[in-house]
């Protein structure tokens, strides 16, 4: 009641023209549109006015915790606790970009509280702003504890592409006394081991997508997009209508990877969703291996997914992904098309390509309609084996693209795979949310 009373004495509408656009979106009950306007408004807006908009948006979405925190901030924007509570609620509700300015101010007013600093770092991580997380952590380096603060500094330094800082700070970390941090310690050891191998075969510069994908995730990326490399994509796809040719090329890269690393699977394991079964049957033909339904614990097998998000959507998907989190000896998880803007729940060992949005070759792809417009065509409902045979009979020749990207020939790929073979297929398959040091353009 007290918060409500204080709030009622303040202006109910923001004054900022940018924030008024978000307010008008809420007048139309367009909460996603209001959030987009809040992001576009930038971080220099008055926090009390931002809180006005967020309170209304959160109320419309049923996020009572965020609505209450926003009301408190609107009533007392100078209070460190109100700033922190608002930032915390924003992070919890997946709008970390709104948390950053509030948490920065809370940190300034709260004399560098480590609790606030850690929450600010979490918000930066959610936004992929790892360099800024490093800057904040190093500003308070004399006050940091090894766990979690020193670990967070190393983690964000790697994701910002600063291996020198990561190695220097990693060498100073003590062994964690609390066993909950031991998996993180081991994961970080593996990251830096992978970096030591990858830099022998790759530049690890801000455009080296394959190299950095291996360092941060342990994933060997099969192919690079031949379009828009110098226009901001750096080897990733935005929206892609996939083709049988592209699927076959990805599977041939998988075969090269297995040969170059000396991994000798005895079977292909078929996941239950239709897209993965089609690709799995094609993989079995390409690799010359028998195909059998996925079984947890099976060793020496290649588990083939078209898209792990598609696996997750299957009735048995969440359970299967949980079974794939921990590695089984000789098991390789291959995902053909992996979303880089919203990574799947687990990380594959081998990925054919990185995309923001994809339509499988046999899906409802867009086509020109009779009226000249664009419309989705029908999905291909032929038997899975028939479509898989079409994939194996496709043309695997590389798409020349626009000619701007780096060379991505088979020999270069095989050389990279051979060099990193000593650190591949280690540890769990934990999700890696960050795109890492290589930026790419994102599309709404």
pLDDT digits (tens, 9 = 90+) for 170-203: 999 999 999 999 999 999 999 999 999 999 999 9
What confidence category does residue 404 fall into, taking pLDDT thresholds of 50, 70 and 90? confident
Confidence of residue 12 (pLDDT cuts 50, 70, 90): confident
- The DSSP element (H or E) to which 351 belongs, if any, is strand 350-355
Predicted confidence at residue 444, as pLDDT, reads 65
Length of the chain equals: 444
Residue 249 has pLDDT above 70, yes or no: yes
User: Interior CA angle at 187 toward 182 and 190, to 5°?
Assistant: 130
Q: Kindly report, residue by residue over 306-338, the tens digit of the pLDDT.
A: 999 999 999 999 999 999 999 999 999 999 999
What's the mean pLDDT in 356-383? 88
**pLDDT score of 9:** 38
**Cis amide bond preceding 195, omega within 30:** no
Q: What is the mean pLDDT of the chain?
A: 94
Enter the tokens of residue 197: 């191998």
Per-residue pLDDT reduced to its tens digit, 421-437: 999 999 999 999 999 99
| Secondary structure (DSSP) of 376-410 | E-----S-HHHHHHHHHTS--PPP-TTS-SPP--H
Q: Residues 219, 351: contact at Cβ < 8 Å?
A: yes
- Output phi, psi for 115, to 5 deg: -60, -45
- The pLDDT of residue 65 is 98
Domain 2-127: which topology? Answer: 1.25.40
Note whether 341 and 312 are within 8 A (CB): no
Tell me: pLDDT of 2 over 90: no
Rounded to an integer, the average pLDDT of 205-229 is 97
Contact 249, 398 (CB under 8 A): yes
**390: Cβ–Cβ under 8 A, 6 or more apart, which residues?**
244
Tokens encoding 212: 């950095």
Q: Which of 241, 240, 166 is nearest to 437 (CA)?
A: 166
The pLDDT of residue 431 is 97
Range ranked top by mean pLDDT from 11-15, 109-113, 226-230, 400-404: 226-230
pLDDT score of 4 more than 50: no
Banded pLDDT at 372 (limits 50, 70, 90): confident
* 209-422 CATH, one of 1.10.287, 3.40.50, 3.30.70, 3.30.590: 3.40.50
| 8 A C-beta contact, residue 106 and residue 37 | no
For 387, residues 6+ apart whose C-beta sits below 8 A from its C-beta are 278, 361, 362, 380
What pLDDT shows up at residue 6?
Answer: 41
Map tokens 């999905």 to a residue.
Answer: 379
Lowest-pLDDT range, 31-45, 364-378, 428-442? 364-378
Q: What totals of helices (H) and strands (E) does the chain contain, helices first?
A: 19, 10
Lowest-pLDDT range of 168-177, 332-341, 399-408: 399-408
What mean pLDDT is predicted for residues 155-172?
98
Which sequence spans correspond to the domains of the chain?
2-127, 209-422
What is the separation of C-alpha 237 from the centre of its chain, rounded to a whole number of angstroms? Answer: 14
């Amino acid at each position: 009641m007290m918060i409500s009373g204080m709030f009622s004495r303040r202006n109910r509408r923001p004054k900022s023209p940018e924030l008024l656009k978000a307010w008008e979106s809420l007048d139309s009950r367009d909460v996603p549109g209001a959030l987009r306007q809040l992001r576009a408004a930038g971080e220099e807006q008055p926090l009390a006015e931002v809180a006005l908009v967020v309170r209304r948006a959160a109320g419309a979405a049923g996020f009572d915790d965020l609505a209450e925190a926003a009301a408190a901030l609107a009533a007392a924007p100078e209070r460190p606790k109100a700033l922190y509570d608002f930032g915390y609620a924003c992070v919890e509700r997946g709008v970390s970009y709104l948390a950053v300015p509030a948490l920065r101010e809370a940190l300034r007013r709260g004399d560098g509280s480590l609790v606030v600093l850690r929450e600010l770092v979490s918000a930066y991580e959610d936004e992929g702003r790892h360099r800024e997380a490093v800057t904040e952590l190093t500003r308070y380096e004399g006050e940091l504890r090894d766990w979690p603060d020193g670990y967070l500094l190393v983690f964000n330094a790697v994701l910002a592409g600063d291996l020198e800082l990561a190695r220097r700070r990693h060498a100073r970390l003590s062994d964690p006394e609390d066993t909950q941090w031991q998996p993180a310690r081991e994961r970080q050891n593996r990251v830096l081991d992978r970096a030591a191998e990858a830099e022998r075969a790759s530049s690890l510069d801000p455009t080296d997508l394959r190299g950095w994908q291996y360092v941060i995730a342990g994933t060997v990326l099969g192919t690079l997009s031949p379009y828009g490399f110098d226009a901001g994509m750096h080897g990733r796809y935005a929206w892609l209508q996939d083709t049988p040719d592209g699927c076959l090329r990805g599977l041939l890269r998988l075969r090269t990877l297995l040969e170059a690393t000396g991994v000798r699977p005895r079977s292909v394991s078929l996941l239950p969703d239709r897209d993965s079964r089609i690709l799995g049957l094609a993989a079995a033909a390409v690799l010359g291996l028998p195909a059998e339904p996925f079984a947890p614990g099976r060793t020496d097998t290649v588990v083939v997914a078209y898209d792990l998000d598609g696996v997750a959507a299957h009735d048995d998907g969440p359970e299967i992904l949980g079974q794939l989190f921990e590695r089984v000896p000789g098991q390789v998880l291959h995902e053909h098309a992996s979303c880089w803007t919203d990574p799947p729940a687990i990380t594959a060992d081998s990925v054919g390509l990185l995309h923001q949005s994809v339509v499988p070759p046999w899906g409802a792809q867009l086509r020109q309609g009779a009226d000249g417009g664009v419309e989705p065509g029908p999905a291909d409902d032929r038997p899975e084996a028939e479509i898989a045979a079409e994939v194996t009979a496709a043309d695997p020749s590389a798409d020349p693209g626009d000619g701007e990207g780096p060379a991505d020939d088979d020999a270069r790929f095989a050389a990279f795979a051979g060099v990193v073979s000593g650190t591949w297929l280690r540890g769990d398959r934990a999700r890696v949310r960050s795109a890492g040091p290589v930026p790419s353009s994102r599309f709404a």
